[in-house]
Amino acid sequence: MKCPKCGRIRESCRHVSRDDVRRIVRLLDAGVEVYQADDDRESPEPHLHEPVRPVAQVVQPRYSMTDLVLADPTKEGILDALAELRHKGLMYRRWGLKKVVKKTKGLSLLFAGPPGTGKTMAAEAISSELGRPMHVVNYAQLENMWVGETEKNIEHVFKAALDAGAVLFFDEADAVFQRRGFMATPWMNRDVNVLLSQMENYPGIVILATNLARVMDRALDRRIDIAVEFPVPDAALRRKIYERLVPNEAPLAKGVDFDVLATKYLLSGGSILNVVRQAMRNSLRRGKRHRITMEDFTRAAEREMKKATLLSTDHLQEAPRRERLGGYA
Ligand SMILES: Nc1ncnc2c1ncn2[C@@H]1O[C@H](COP(=O)(O)OP(=O)(O)OP(=O)(O)O)[C@@H](O)[C@H]1O
Ligand SMILES: [Mg+2]
């Protein structure tokens, strides 16, 4: 590869990254031809028969590992994944793993845990640690946009993520990977098969997040390289989450005690964020110059606990199959 700016002939330089080179090689392999811009050039035939496929939502990751407060086993799982992703070349080529598995495998992760425990955040953190964008897939969209075309949509989503060098994130993956036969619709089973085989052959990174690891397809077990559990944080972690989520700038009154809040209210990180915001609202309703008091926090936390109970009751009545853990939401 010769860089037009510095004229260097090598794998990469200041202007052309290794990723750029890989992308160019991939495009050339696919038969893409490159032309100089030319106004007289005939406009290409429009691809009338090619439907516009739904693409995943492209998310620029906002969080890094330091934003996350996690239990040790959860953190270990993520650090394992990062170790492999950062040193994949070494593992597969220099250490010869490629000879054993016959291909450069991608990495598939399963993040399982109740709502608001940091799964989406962790996926973003992994993407940002690797300097990659994240493609978030909503399965309902894949299924609905082009009825009968789910299979192609799935393939398209995988290909688009690979081309962009993105981390592919299936949120609410349980909707996708309902245990086969569980939903008992044959077309659905076929889609799951397509998904599983795409995952098996995918050389990139896929992360599946779910609240219900138990209903996930057993066939997934074999295809998941690292399964990471995201439990509801214990009191010590909840305390750290309060410290992380209450900004230093927030005017706290004397007597605000995160220890007490953390011990008394069993809440997920997502719910703690709600508590912090509600405590701020409580204080603002007295006026801008008031400090945020412990009373503001306890009222907010009580409210959040009630909300969680309400949500889980409603949820269970509407959809008895989806088991949600009460009190966490
Ligand atoms: N472990 C954590 N450390 C720090 N902040 C957290 C943590 N967990 C949750 N939060 C806070 O809660 C918010 C919501 O978390 P997140 O969206 O990652 O949860 P989730 O596990 O993906 O939930 P869901 O299953 O509902 O999608 C985060 O943006 C963050 O502010
Ligand atoms: Mg999420």
Give CA–CA dist 226/81, Å, rounded: 7
Angstrom distances, CA of residue 43 to CA of 27, 28, 171, 282: 20, 21, 39, 60
Domain assignment present for 286: yes
Strand, coil or helix: 2? strand
The tokens for 80 are 């394992």
Q: Which of 197, 229, 261 is a domain's end point?
A: 229
Question: What is the predicted pLDDT for the residue at 156?
Answer: 86
> Which residues touch 165 (CB under 8 Å, ≥6 apart)?
19, 23, 132, 133, 204
The tokens for 158 are 């995988």
Asked if 300 contacts 279 with a C-beta cutoff of 8 angstroms, the reply is yes
Question: What is the predicted pLDDT for the residue at 186?
Answer: 52
Instruction: Verify whether ligand 1 is closer than 6 Å to residue 211 (CB atom).
Output: yes
Instruction: Verify whether ligand 1 is closer than 6 Å to residue 207 (CB atom).
Output: no
Together in a domain, 63 and 210: yes
Together in a domain, 186 and 265: no
Domain assignment present for 30: yes
Closest ligand by atom to 63 CA: 1
Q: Looking at ligand 1, which residue's alpha carbon is closest to its atom 12?
A: 270
Domain span at residue 270? 235-318
Together in a domain, 18 and 75: no
User: Which of 68, 74, 120 for mutating ligand 1's site (highest number of atoms within 8 Å of CB)?
Assistant: 120
Together in a domain, 118 and 140: yes
Instruction: Verify whether ligand 1 is closer than 6 Å to residue 69 (CB atom).
Output: yes
Together in a domain, 102 and 170: yes
User: Which of 62, 121, 315 for mutating ligand 1's site (highest number of atoms within 8 Å of CB)?
Assistant: 121
| Tens digit of pLDDT at every position of the chain (329 positions) | 666 667 666 677 777 777 777 777 777 777 776 655 555 455 555 455 555 665 688 989 999 999 999 999 999 999 999 999 999 889 988 999 988 887 767 899 999 999 999 999 999 999 999 999 999 987 666 666 555 677 788 888 899 999 999 999 988 887 766 655 555 455 556 667 777 888 888 889 999 998 876 666 666 777 788 999 999 999 999 999 999 999 999 999 999 999 999 999 999 999 999 999 999 999 999 998 899 999 999 999 999 999 877 766 654 444 444 333 333 23
Closest ligand by atom to 174 CA: 1
Sheet with 205-210, side-by-side order of all strands: 57-59, 134-137, 167-170, 205-210, 107-112, 226-229
Alpha carbon of 123 to ligand 2 centroid (Å)? 9
What is the CA angle 322-148-139, rounded to 5? 35
Instruction: Verify whether ligand 1 is closer than 6 Å to residue 276 (CB atom).
Output: no
AA letter at 192: V
DSSP 91: I
Together in a domain, 94 and 214: yes
Helices (H) and strands (E) in the chain, counts: 14, 6
Instruction: Verify whether ligand 1 is closer than 6 Å to residue 241 (CB atom).
Output: yes
> Which residues touch 150 (CB under 8 Å, ≥6 apart)?
142, 143, 187, 191, 194
Strand, coil or helix: 53? coil
Q: Which of 229, 250, 270 is a domain's end point?
A: 229
Alpha carbon of 116 to ligand 1 centroid (Å)? 4
Domain assignment present for 52: no
Together in a domain, 276 and 314: yes
> Which atom number of ligand 1 is nearest to the Cα of residue 68?
3
Q: Which of 181, 213, 229 is a domain's end point?
A: 229
Q: Looking at ligand 1, which residue's alpha carbon is closest to its atom 30?
A: 270
Domains: count for the chain: 3
Report the CATH number at residue 101: 3.40.50.300
Domain assignment present for 51: no
Give CA–CA dist 101/104, Å, rounded: 7
Together in a domain, 259 and 144: no
Domain assignment present for 5: yes
Together in a domain, 223 and 129: yes
Closest ligand by atom to 62 CA: 1
The tokens for 75 are 């953190």
The tokens for 15 are 């202007």
User: Side-chain half-sphere of 5: how many Cα atoms within 13 Å?
Assistant: 6
Instruction: Verify whether ligand 1 is closer than 6 Å to residue 117 (CB atom).
Output: yes
Strand, coil or helix: 108? strand
Alpha carbon of 120 to ligand 2 centroid (Å)? 4
Backbone angles phi, psi at 112, to 5 degrees: -120, 135
AA letter at 110: L
Asked if 196 contacts 220 with a C-beta cutoff of 8 angstroms, the reply is yes
Tracing tokens 């994240």 back to the chain, one arrives at 134
Question: What is the predicted pLDDT for the residue at 321?
Answer: 40
> Which atom number of ligand 1 is nearest to the Cα of residue 111?
21
Asked if 193 contacts 95 with a C-beta cutoff of 8 angstroms, the reply is no
